[in-house]
Every structure is written in structure tokens, then in C-alpha cells.
């Protein structure tokens, strides 16, 4: 049984919001506790891995735990010919919910640490090598998410997706935003995890290219038969009644 759209949107907004709160809040905490950039990134990435894994496990059965417009669009594209895949109406509702949640999460993190609720980031991230990092990070994420579904292991998403993001924090030059909604949300905080508003559009463009390349990689590796789309990131429906 598929959860009603309203509940799915609530799950996407809350999940994306808490994810951004984890990313931004742990970044603030790390910067206040240590001046070492490596220690700061380690703390930030570890908190993100743990938080993301929990969010996918808890909210996946409701909405699929996308928390990411790139994942939502990829899920719609691969499942658009199936009867139970995401519809364009779903996509048009998911994406604004994710963006609103991301902005709210950044504001919440700033509030918890006594920062200005909204302060545009001054952390410039405008460089070709960073855009390439976003292409790679997003392509890998899409390949992982859709690949898990293709091989019938979507239940591994909480561990696999969180682990990939944690690794990509370190092996990509951009520290793996890999998410347009999160990128937009992080522009609202002038803290460790922030991104200057002028850097947002190029990052989102790079993420879009990465998503397309990730879809191409899925076809190259697994062939054209599409997954149901309704199971990405993890099977969703009433808890306990999910098909997997």
C-alpha cells in the first residue's frame, strides 16, 4: 500500500530538513571545537553518515527517502512507464518539499547554535575542479540508488547510501553535496557547511550532469529494463507492508 501523497511530502520535507540540520549543525559544532580542518571534516562527515542512515531507515518506508531532487527525477525517469512509478505530479510536489525542508533545516541549525537565522554564506565554491567533484559524486549516488533497486537490494540503502556519502566527503573535491535541495539550503547559513549563493547554480548544474551520467551508467551496467521507481531509495508504503 502506497502512503498518501501528503504523508510522503511530509516525510520528504522532514527528512531533508533534518539532514541539512545534521550537516550544518555538525559543521558548526566541529568548527567551534577544533581549528584543524581535517578534524572538522571528519566530524562533519561522520555525523552526516549516521544521520542519513537513520533517516533513510525511518522514512524510507513512507516516501522512498529521496531527500534529493536528483534522486526523485531519476526515480521518475526510470519508472515513468510502470503503473506504480512516480508521476510528474509526485515530482512537482516532492521537489518543493525537499527544498523547503532544506532551507528550514539550515535555519534550525543556525538557531540551535545561536547564529543569525538567515545569513547568506560567504563560502565561495566556484571552481571547475569542484564542479567536477559534484558531477562524480552525483553520478555515483544515482548509480548506487538505482543499482540497489535493480538487483533487489533496496533494503541495503540506509547503510549503502550513507556509506557512499561518507566516502564521497573525502574522495571528491567538493565534499559531495550531490543534492540540489541541500545545496540551496546550505546557502542560507554562513557557517562551515555553507555555500555562497553565487556558487549554487553551477553546483546544481554539475549535479544535473552527474545525474544524467549516473542514469547512463545504470543503463550501461544493468540494461534498459527499468525498475518500478516506486521502490527508490527504499521500498515505501505502510511500514510492515512494504514489498521487500
- Number of folded domains in the chain? 1
Predicted pLDDT at 148: 96
In a domain, 237, yes or no: no
Q: Taking all residues of the chain, what is their mean pLDDT, rounded to a whole number? A: 92
Which pLDDT score, from 0 to 100, does residue 224 have? 77
Residue 229 lies in a domain: no
Is the pLDDT at 112 greater than 70? The verdict is yes
d(CA 5, CA 151): 27
Average pLDDT over residues 150-179: 96
Q: What pLDDT digit, counting tens, does each position of 131-154 carry? A: 999 999 999 999 999 999 999 999
Q: Would you say residue 230 lies in a domain?
A: no
Other CB atoms within a 10 A radius of the CB of residue 193 amount to 27
Residue 235: inside a domain: no
Domain contains 127: yes
Its domain, for residue 135, covers 5-222
**pLDDT score for 239:** 42
Contact 67, 141 (CB under 8 A): no
- Write out pLDDT tens, residues 49-92: 999 999 999 999 999 999 999 999 999 999 887 777 899 999 99
Q: Is residue 243 part of a domain?
A: no
Confidence (pLDDT) at 81: 76
Contact in structure between 174 and 203 (CB atoms under 8 Å): yes
Name residues whose C-beta falls within 8 Å of residue 199's C-beta, 6 or more positions apart in sequence. 123, 124, 125, 126, 187
Q: pTM score, two decimals?
A: 0.91
Dump pLDDT digits (tens) for 13-43.
999 999 999 999 999 999 999 999 999 999 9
Whether the per-residue pLDDT at 243 is higher than 70: the answer is no
> Would 186 be classed as within a structural domain?
yes
228 lies in a domain?
no
Q: What residues contact 106, with CB distance under 8 A and at least 6 apart?
A: 20, 21, 24, 185, 186, 188, 189
Phi, psi of 114 (to 5 degrees): 70, 25
Report the CATH number that the domain containing residue 29 is assigned in CATH.
1.20.1080.10
Amino acid at each position: 500500500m502506497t502512503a498518501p501523497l501528503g504523508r510522503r511530502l511530509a516525510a520528504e520535507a522532514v527528512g531533508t530538513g533534518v539532514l541539512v540540520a545534521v550537516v550544518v549543525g555538525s559543521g558548526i559544532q566541529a568548527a567551534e571545537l577544533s581549528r584543524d580542518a581535517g578534524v572538522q571534516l571528519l566530524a562533519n562527515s561522520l555525523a552526516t553518515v549516521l544521520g542519513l542512515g537513520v533517516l533513510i531507515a525511518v522514512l524510507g518506508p513512507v516516501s522512498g527517502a529521496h531527500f534529493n531532487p536528483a534522486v526523485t527525477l531519476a526515480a521518475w525517469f526510470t519508472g515513468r512507464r510502470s503503473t506504480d512509478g512516480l508521476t510528474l505530479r509526485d515530482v512537482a510536489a516532492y521537489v518543493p518539499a525537499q527544498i523547503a525542508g532544506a532551507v528550514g533545516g539550515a535555519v534550525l541549525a543556525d538557531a540551535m547554535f545561536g547564529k543569525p537565522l538567515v545569513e547568506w554564506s560567504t563560502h565561495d565554491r566556484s571552481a571547475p575542479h569542484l564542479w567536477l567533484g559534484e558531477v562524480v559524486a552525483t553520478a555515483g549516488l544515482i548509480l548506487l540508488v538505482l543499482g540497489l533497486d535493480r538487483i533487489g537490494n533496496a533494503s541495503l540503502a540506509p547503510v549503502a547510501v550513507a556509506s557512499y556519502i561518507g566516502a564521497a566527503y573525502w574522495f571528491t573535491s567538493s565534499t559531495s553535496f550531490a543534492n540540489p535541495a541541500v545545496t540551496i539550503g546550505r546557502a542560507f547559513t554562513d557557517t562551515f557547511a555553507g555555500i555562497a549563493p553565487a556558487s549554487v547554480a553551477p553546483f546544481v548544474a554539475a549535479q544535473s550532469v552527474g545525474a544524467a551520467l549516473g542514469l547512463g551508467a545504470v543503463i550501461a551496467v544493468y540494461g534498459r529494463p527499468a525498475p518500478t521507481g516506486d521502490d527508490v531509495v527504499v521500498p515505501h508504503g505502510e511500514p510492515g507492508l512494504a514489498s521487500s
